[in-house]
Structure 1
Amino acid sequence: MIVDLPDTTTSKVSKELMSMRERGGVVALGRVLTLVVITRSGFEEEAIDAANEASREHPCRIIVLAEGSADGSTRLDGQIRVGGDAGASEVIVLRGYGELADESESLVSALLLPDAPIVAWWPHGVPDAAAQTSIGGIAHRRITDSANEEDPTAALFNIRRTYTAGDTDLAWTRLTNWRIQLAAVLDQVEGDQPVTAVTVEGASDSPSTVLLAAWLTLALDAPVTNVAGPAGTGLKRVRLTRSGGDIELHRPDQDVAELYQPDQPVQRISLPRRGLRDCLAEELRRLDPDEVFGEVITEGLARTNLRSVRTSDR
């Protein structure tokens, strides 16, 4: 069920939501948080679809602040989606114009679930300082996505500069399965020959490659070389150089990786590129600060002196 509310107020939106429940018997029980999505024009539906899918695991109220225009008269257009159009959640879409065009806590305060955590998500457009924005200041967790920026690596260094506990980025979440596999390998060879060098190969536009290098810098205290491949191909390969032979985790395609270890047969491991829904759902599972990400973005990124080479130079 979708109801449009042109030229409205947040108070009217709240009343209409309650009225829709009474008229249609729509009930949303067990909602665990409020997810506030701050998105650019043209990307609203992609964000709503991902949030709806994630809400099936984490029932929540989704408030979408869609980009409006500062030009023209001041007004607020609203839309409510419940039932089959909203997954396991209630979706409220707000688009402000004029003085209401900017992201503001005042637009969402009357619609927040009482006594429930608040998560802010910027699927496009990493703010200069997420925790210092109007919405970020009231949120328990703040999720950005540097992969959607014009310069993803610069966006990561901006996050490092302004990092506040509770910040995270989906470029880090996309690494979860890579980190699990590499941690398992490192546990097996711990106490054996130490890793003396690390090579991380990934797309030239992949911030996940940079974060993985930063994580390995902290974990292994070894020099890291970044091999930049074609844009859009994601993370491809990690090679750990040791005196007894290299260990390599290589994903030649989008789904299956191959693990090479000295004197062992090649292992094929399911390692698909993660979708937006899965990454968002993972971040909604935890409402406490991600301390490992905090260390990687502040310490690991600062210590990582990446020497980049092109695949054609190898």
Structure 2
Amino acid sequence: MIGLWDTTGNEVVKALAAERRSAGGVASGLALSLIAVVEERKVREAEAAATIAAAAHPCRVLIVVRSDLDGRSRLDAEIVVGGRLGPAEAVVMRMYGRLALHAESVVMPLLAPDVPVVTWWHSEPPETIANDFLGIVADRRITDSAQAADPVAALKRRAEDYAPGDTDLTWTRITLWRTLVAGAFDTTEETVVGATIVAPPSDPTAALMAGWLAARLGITPVLEPTDQWPRMRSVQLQCANGDCVTVTREEGTALFSRTGQEDRYMPLPRRPVGDELAEELRRLDPDQIYSEALGALAGIKHLESRPPQRVHIWRDPAQAQRAEAPVGAYAGPGGRAV
């Protein structure tokens, strides 16, 4: 590992190239560049997730930590090639002051050549992705609405702000649920006429599951709230012939029940973030099924027909703070109302 303190972007580029040469790195062996936007307290979590994802998709990981926007502009960097991050090449960049608002000036020269770019926010999702240039340069953008203060509202905001290439880890977390539910109809052509989802009111996976069922089956699922479980508990489908199909979460498994058949237990583990991230990195084209489910959740049609390109909309947090300052207050240094 190489540590560079109070450095410049050019020095980081030179140090990465030198470390790659000494480690025998080959740029053509990289599948993509992964930009991870994280908070300081989640850097180790992001590194652990990137290590798992890089085992399946060798990549260059660029971790951006924005801190202290009011302080002096400074860049600290750690460069790791191999080592604790497995096959990944990683640069952890801590940006302070106004530099943090222009992270792309440091990140762009570090992108691996001729490979796709994925930006992943391991933090509360941005209100508008176009405000962050790191989202504009990406071919694929991964958010995590579960980290927002109101996860369901954050998912609906993702629909309003959607462009092809966007996805959310909430969608990835219901992959196994969708597989179990869809597999129940491999051997029958019965029409589904209703669905009931038991989950906490704030669970975004339940909301997106309802959107998926609505988009796929043309029904309006009923969300049955519960405070007894921290996550989605069960999904029940009612068929036109009176049969019911129910998937109920147990500890690491799912109880699969169907009218007229014996109950079965199927695997339903809670996966680490690294596995969820690796799943999303398997595809770099727009996910139309996700866009339809998200649109059904938010009541917005034809998300997939939106243009995939965004235009960067500059937003200065200091100016926003001045605009929000109460009447009679004035903005002090750094835009703080005093």
Distance 1:231 1:100, change over 3 A: farther
Determine the C-alpha separation between the residues in 2 that align with 1:141 and 1:14.
Answer: 24
One-letter amino acid of the structure 2 residue matched with residue 284 of structure 1: L
Deviation, structure 1 residue 187: 3.4
Deviations 1:152-196 (A, max 9, x none): 001001001010000000000011111111111133332x3x322
One-letter amino acid of the structure 2 residue matched with residue 276 of structure 1: V
Q: Which residue of 2 is the match for residue 184 of structure 1?
A: 183
Deviations 1:98-124 (A, max 9, x none): 111225321201101111100000011
Is residue 296 from structure 1 mapped to residue 290 from structure 2 by the alignment? Answer: no
Deviation, structure 1 residue 300: 4.3
One-letter amino acid of the structure 2 residue matched with residue 196 of structure 1: V
Aligned equivalent of 2:245, options 234, 244, 247: 247
5+ residue gaps, structure 2, are 302-338
Question: RMSD value over aligned CA atoms?
Answer: 1.9
Determine the C-alpha separation between the residues in 2 that align with 1:136 and 1:205.
Answer: 27
Deviation, structure 1 residue 20: 2.0
Deviation, structure 1 residue 21: 3.1
Determine the C-alpha separation between the residues in 1 that align with 2:203 and 2:102.
Answer: 28
SS of 1:200's equivalent in the other structure is strand
Aligned equivalent of 1:260, options 257, 262, 270: 257
SS of 2:56's equivalent in the other structure is coil
Determine the C-alpha separation between the residues in 1 that align with 2:134 and 2:37.
Answer: 9
Alignment of 1:35-54 (within 5 A): 35-54=34-53
Alignment of 1:218-257 (within 5 A): 218-230=215-227, 233-242=230-239, 243-253=241-251, 255-257=252-254
Percent of residue pairs bearing the same amino acid type: 38
Distance 1:231 1:301, change over 3 A: farther
Distance 1:244 1:53, change over 3 A: same
TM-score by length of 2: 0.84
One-letter amino acid of the structure 1 residue matched with residue 88 of structure 2: S
CA contact (8 A) 2:27 2:112 kept: no
Determine the C-alpha separation between the residues in 1 that align with 2:246 and 2:135.
Answer: 40
Distance 1:232 1:179, change over 3 A: same
Q: Which residue of 2 is the match for residue 210 of structure 1?
A: 207
Determine the C-alpha separation between the residues in 2 that align with 1:8 and 1:232.
Answer: 48
Distance 1:125 1:276, change over 3 A: same
Determine the C-alpha separation between the residues in 1 that align with 2:25 and 2:186.
Answer: 50
Distance 1:163 1:87, change over 3 A: same
Q: Which residue of 1 is the match for residue 126 of structure 2?
A: 127
CA contact (8 A) 2:199 2:229 kept: no
Deviations 1:212-271 (A, max 9, x none): 011001122223111223387322101112342221111132x11111111111111111
Q: Which residue of 2 is the match for residue 75 of structure 1?
A: 74
CA contact (8 A) 2:196 2:221 kept: yes
Determine the C-alpha separation between the residues in 2 that align with 1:177 and 1:30.
Answer: 31
Q: Which residue of 2 is the match for residue 163 of structure 1?
A: 162
Deviation, structure 1 residue 125: 1.5
Deviations 1:105-149 (A, max 9, x none): 212011011111000000111011224520111100000001111
SS of 1:238's equivalent in the other structure is strand
Alignment of 1:280-291 (within 5 A): 280-291=277-288
CA contact (8 A) 1:39 1:66 kept: yes
Determine the C-alpha separation between the residues in 1 that align with 2:103 and 2:21.
Answer: 29
Distance 1:4 1:110, change over 3 A: same
SS of 2:13's equivalent in the other structure is helix
Q: Which residue of 2 is the match for residue 175 of structure 1?
A: 174
Aligned equivalent of 2:274, options 273, 277, 284: 277
Determine the C-alpha separation between the residues in 1 that align with 2:247 and 2:137.
Answer: 41
Deviations 1:61-119 (A, max 9, x none): 00000121112221111111122222111110111111112253212011011111000
The number of aligned residues is 300
Determine the C-alpha separation between the residues in 1 that align with 2:132 and 2:19.
Answer: 32
Determine the C-alpha separation between the residues in 2 that align with 1:26 and 1:142.
Answer: 26
Distance 1:103 1:121, change over 3 A: farther
SS of 2:160's equivalent in the other structure is helix
SS of 1:150's equivalent in the other structure is coil
CA contact (8 A) 1:214 1:303 kept: no
5+ residue gaps, structure 1, are 305-314
One-letter amino acid of the structure 2 residue matched with residue 252 of structure 1: E
